[in-house]
Amino acid sequence: MSIKSYEFLIFAATRALEDFRPSRLQRRMDGIGLDFAPFSRSPMVPALSDFAPRSAPFTIPFTIALTFGDPAGIGPEVVAKALTDQTLRNWLRMQPWPVRFVVVGDRVGGWDDLADTDLAIVWQDLATNVTVCPGIGNAQTGEASFQYLQAAIAGALRGDYGAIVTAPIAKHGWQAAGHTYPGQTEVLAARTQSDRPGMLFAARSPHSGWVLRVLLATVHIPLSQVPLVLTPALLTTKLDTLRDSLRRDFGLAGGTLAVAGLNPHAGEGGYLGTEEETWLKPTLAVWQAANPDWRVWGPVPPDALWVGAARAWYHGGEAPIAYLALYHDQGLIPVKMLAFDRAVNVTVGLPFVRTSPDHGTAFDIAGQGIADPSSMIAAIQWAIELTAQRRGAGSRTNL
pLDDT tens column, 1-47 = 444 443 433 344 444 334 433 333 333 333 323 332 322 222 222 22
The pLDDT value given to residue 112: 59
Strands of the 353-357 sheet, one edge to the other: 120-125, 99-105, 62-67, 163-166, 353-357, 344-348, 198-204, 211-216, 322-325, 255-260, 294-300
Interval 190-213 mean pLDDT: 95
pLDDT tens column, 145-180 = 999 999 999 999 999 999 999 999 999 999 999 999
The pLDDT value given to residue 358: 86
- Give the DSSP H/E element, type plus range, for residue 78: helix 75-83
Which residue did the predictor score with more confidence, 326 or 115?
326
The pLDDT value given to residue 329: 96
The pLDDT value given to residue 95: 84
Query: pLDDT averaged over the chain?
Result: 83
State percent of the chain over pLDDT 70: 80
CA distance 251 to 254: 9
Q: What are phi and psi of 108, to 5 degrees?
A: -135, 165
Question: pLDDT category, 57, cuts 50, 70, 90?
Answer: very low
Determine if the pTM surpasses 0.85: no
- For the chain, state the CA radius of gyration: 22
- Among 113, 27, 102, CA closest to 67: 102
Question: pLDDT category, 391, cuts 50, 70, 90?
Answer: confident
Degrees (nearest 5) of the Cα angle 161, 129, 363?
A: 80
The pLDDT value given to residue 116: 52
Question: pLDDT category, 62, cuts 50, 70, 90?
Answer: confident
pLDDT tens column, 91-123 = 998 888 889 999 999 987 666 566 555 678 888
Q: Is residue 213 within 8 Å of 200, Cβ to Cβ?
A: yes
